[in-house]
């Protein structure tokens, strides 16, 4: 196998890991504004955040690795993608930064207003990437307007086409369903029941919308017949999610949603190959050959990946094993943040009423 093809596949694998793992992170973040009951909102939000608290930052490493691998293995692809999609990728980056700050600082101060702002940041920081990742990938598959120098010249609003917007709806629904299933898998009590009920409802909408988008992609933009197999696998997996969520089989439902995401990535990258960024004019398209680094660079990267990848996978698997138990509101400790008082709440010290000597 050519090293260029190998690294195209490895980048697809990295994106698969990111979308499967960070997908339920985004789903939980989006559900912070939808799932908790008003009577016990704060405690339920803490449980939801704690289900992903030990793993969310590790899940984001897959994105950093995918970006770094693209930069090193296919620098021309990286340059065209990040210059042409500058605004949506900047919005994704900004949302991820806001999300990180909210995760890290939410519990630092024991104040309702402080936590409310952090929750809003988590919600927005989860919705924005969920929508825009789908828009970005759909545009890459559809093709963009590149000139002879492989520069994107289509403009921002050209990215907001119907196929791309439907792709954004797909990733949003998939992540919402994936997150609801994960919550049902990791929580207990009434929160688990409501998460399972919501997952059952979302799974039906996800099956319909994602199925329509996948068929559209296959018919309009895929050149290979074998990618129909990926469409079929995704459809069967989502149908299994519908049945498993109705039966409250959280583990089986989570496997089904993960398989559906894997099949979707296979469909996207399988439809692209040998292009990495197709252009409306095929003569201007970026391919695995004209966008790749030198053979020496790819060789060094391959040996580094062979040595380090198993270690990373073992460490992340161990993390999930350690934090495998269910969480509930009954097991939450008291808030440990600093107590914050606003100026209007601060009272002057009491005096004895005796004038000083």
- pLDDT tens readout for residues 28-86: 999 998 888 877 888 889 899 999 988 988 899 999 999 999 999 999 999 999 888 99
Distance CA 179, CA 187 (A): 12
Mean pLDDT of the chain: 89
Q: Of the segments 96-110, 208-222, 300-314, 319-333, which one has the largest average pLDDT value?
A: 208-222
Per-residue pLDDT band for 223 (boundaries 50, 70, 90) equals: confident
Report field, pTM of the whole predicted structure over 0.75: yes
Q: Which residues lie closer than 8 Å to 335 by C-beta, 6 or more apart?
A: 107, 110
Q: How many Cα atoms sit within 13 Å of 243 on the Cβ side?
A: 9
Alpha helices in the chain (DSSP H): 3-31, 41-52, 56-73, 75-84, 86-105, 112-142, 162-186, 190-221, 227-246, 250-272, 295-322
pLDDT at 182: 96
Average pLDDT over residues 5-20: 94
pLDDT at 326: 85
Average pLDDT over residues 178-184: 95
Residue 344 clears pLDDT 60, i.e. is over it:
no
- pLDDT tens readout for residues 110-155: 888 888 999 999 999 999 999 999 999 999 999 999 998 888 888 8
- How is residue 357 written in tokens? 């000597």
Dihedral sign from CA coordinates of 199, 201, 203, 205: negative
Find tokens 């907001």 and name the residue.
160
- pLDDT tens readout for residues 228-279: 999 999 999 999 999 999 999 999 999 999 999 999 999 999 999 999 999 9
Distance CA 266, CA 253 (A): 20
Q: Which residues lie closer than 8 Å to 237 by C-beta, 6 or more apart?
A: 256, 257, 259, 260, 263
Residue 301 clears pLDDT 50, i.e. is over it:
yes
pLDDT at 354: 42
Strand partners, 338: 109
């Amino acid at each position: 196998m050519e090293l260029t093809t190998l690294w195209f596949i490895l980048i697809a694998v990295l994106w698969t890991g990111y979308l499967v793992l960070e997908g339920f992170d985004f789903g939980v973040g989006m559900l912070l504004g939808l799932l908790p009951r008003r009577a016990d909102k704060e405690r339920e939000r803490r449980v939801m955040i704690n289900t992903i608290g030990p793993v969310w930052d590790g899940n984001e490493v897959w994105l950093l690795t995918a970006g770094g691998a693209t930069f090193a293995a296919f620098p021309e692809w990286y340059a065209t993608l990040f210059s042409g999609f500058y605004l949506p990728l900047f919005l994704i980056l900004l949302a991820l930064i806001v999300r990180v700050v909210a995760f890290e600082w939410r519990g630092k101060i024991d104040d309702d207003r402080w936590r409310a702002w952090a929750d809003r940041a988590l919600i927005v920081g989860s919705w924005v990437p969920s929508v825009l990742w789908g828009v970005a990938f759909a545009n890459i598959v559809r093709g963009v307007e590149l000139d002879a120098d492989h520069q994107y010249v289509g403009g921002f609003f050209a990215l907001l086409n119907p196929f791309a917007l439907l792709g954004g709806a797909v990733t949003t629904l998939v992540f919402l369903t994936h997150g609801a299933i994960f919550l049902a898998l990791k929580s207990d009590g009434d929160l688990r029941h409501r998460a399972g009920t919501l997952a059952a409802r979302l799974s039906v909408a996800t099956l319909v919308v994602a199925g329509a988008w996948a068929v559209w992609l296959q018919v309009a933009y895929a050149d290979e017949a074998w990618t129909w197999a990926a469409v079929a696998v995704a459809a069967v997996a989502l149908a299994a999610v519908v049945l498993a969520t109705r039966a409250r089989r959280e583990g089986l439902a989570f496997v089904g949603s993960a398989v559906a995401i894997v099949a979707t990535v296979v469909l996207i990258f399988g439809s692209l190959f040998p292009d990495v960024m197709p252009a409306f004019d095929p003569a201007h398209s970026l391919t695995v050959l004209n966008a790749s680094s030198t053979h020496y660079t790819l060789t060094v990267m391959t040996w580094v990946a062979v040595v380090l990848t198993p270690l990373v996978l073992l460490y992340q698997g161990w993390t999930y094993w350690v934090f495998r138990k269910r969480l509930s509101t009954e097991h939450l400790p008291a808030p440990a943040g600093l107590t914050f008082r606003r100026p209007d709440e601060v009272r002057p010290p009491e005096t004895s009423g005796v004038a000083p000597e």
